Amino acid sequence: MLQVANIRANKEAYVKALKKRNFDAEEVFAEVLELDETRRSTQAELDEKLAESNRLSKEIGMLFKTGEHLKANQLKQQTSDLKETTKELSEKLAATTMALNKQLYNIPNIPNELVPDGASEEDNVEVFKEGEVPQLDSDALPHWELAKKYDIIDFELGNKITGAGFPVYKGKGARLQRALIAYFLDKNVAAGYTEYQMPLMVNEASGYGTGQLPDKEGQMYHVTEDNLYLIPTAEVPITNMFRDNMLSENDLPIACTGYTPCFRREAGSYGAHVRGLNRLHQFDKVEIVRIEKPENSFAALDQMVEQIKDILRDLKLPYRILRLCGGDLGFTSVLTYDFEVFSTAQDRWLEISSCSNFETFQANRLKLRYKSADGSKQLAHTLNGSALALPRVLAGILENYQTPAGIKVPDVLVPYTGFDMID
Q: How many Å apart are CA 361 and CA 112, to the nearest integer?
A: 13
Domain's final residue, options 44, 78, 105: 105
Write out the binding residues: 233, 264-266, 287, 351-354, 384
pLDDT, tens digit, for every residue of 365-393?
999 999 998 999 999 999 999 999 999 99
Query: In 10 A of CB 246, how many CB atoms?
Result: 12
- The CATH number covering residue 370 comes to 3.30.930.10
- How many domains does the chain fold into? 2
The whole domain housing 36 covers: 4-105
* Residue of 308, 351, 358 whose CA lies nearest to 336: 358
The alpha carbon of residue 375 and the mean position of all alpha carbons in its chain are separated, in whole angstroms, by 29
Q: How many Å apart are CA 180 and CA 164, to the nearest integer?
A: 23
Q: What is the CA radius of gyration of the chain?
A: 27
180 with 92, same domain: the answer is: no
Q: How many Å apart are CA 9 and CA 323, to the nearest integer?
A: 28
250's CB contacts (< 8 A; 6+ apart) are: none
Mean pLDDT of 285-305: 98
Mean pLDDT of 143-149: 97
Domain's final residue, options 59, 79, 105: 105
62 with 188, same domain: the answer is: no
389 with 258, same domain: the answer is: yes
Q: Is position 110 within any domain?
A: no
96 with 148, same domain: the answer is: no
pLDDT band at 137 (very low <50, low <70, confident <90, very high): confident
DSSP state at residue 191: T
Query: Residue 353 to residues 66, 164, 232, 311, 411: CA-CA distances in angstroms?
Result: 75, 23, 14, 11, 22
pLDDT of residue 271: 52
192 with 60, same domain: the answer is: no
192 with 301, same domain: the answer is: yes
Q: How many Å apart are CA 317 and CA 140, to the nearest integer?
A: 17
pLDDT of residue 285: 98
Q: How many Å apart are CA 100 and CA 7, to the nearest integer?
A: 13
Q: Is position 134 within any domain?
A: yes
* pLDDT at 200 exceeding the cut of 60: yes
379 with 339, same domain: the answer is: yes
209 with 346, same domain: the answer is: yes
45 with 178, same domain: the answer is: no
For helices 171-190 and 297-315, the axis angle rounded to 10 degrees is: 140
Give a three-class secondary structure readout of 194-220. Answer: EEECCCCEEEHHHHHHHCCCCCCHHHC
Residues 411, 415, 416, 420: is their CA dihedral positive or negative? positive
pLDDT band at 272 (very low <50, low <70, confident <90, very high): low
* Residue 64, amino acid: F
Q: How many Å apart are CA 95 and CA 304, to the nearest integer?
A: 41
DSSP state at residue 119: S
pLDDT of residue 267: 53
94 with 231, same domain: the answer is: no
pLDDT of residue 101: 96
Helix, strand, coil percentages, rounded to 5, for the chain: 45, 20, 30
Q: Is position 226 within any domain?
A: yes
Mean pLDDT of 160-178: 97
- The CATH number covering residue 78 comes to 1.10.287
DSSP state at residue 172: H
88 with 135, same domain: the answer is: no
pLDDT, tens digit, for every residue of 29-38?
999 999 999 9
Write out the binding residues for L-serine: 233, 264, 287, 384
Q: Is position 115 within any domain?
A: no
- Are 391 and 280 contacting, i.e. CB atoms less than 8 angstroms apart? yes
Q: How many Å apart are CA 106 and CA 63, to the nearest integer?
A: 53
Which helix (H) or strand (E) element contains residue 105? helix 69-105
* pLDDT at 73 exceeding the cut of 80: no
Q: Is position 244 within any domain?
A: yes
pLDDT, tens digit, for every residue of 2-51?
999 999 999 999 999 999 999 999 999 999 999 999 999 999 999 999 99
Which helix (H) or strand (E) element contains residue 64? helix 26-65
Write out the binding residues for ATP: 264-266, 351-354
Cα-flanking dihedrals φ and ψ of residue 289, to 5°? -135, 140
pLDDT of residue 344: 87
Q: What is the DSSP string of 215-253?
A: TTGGGS-EETTTTEEE-SSTHHHHHHTTTT-EEEGGG--
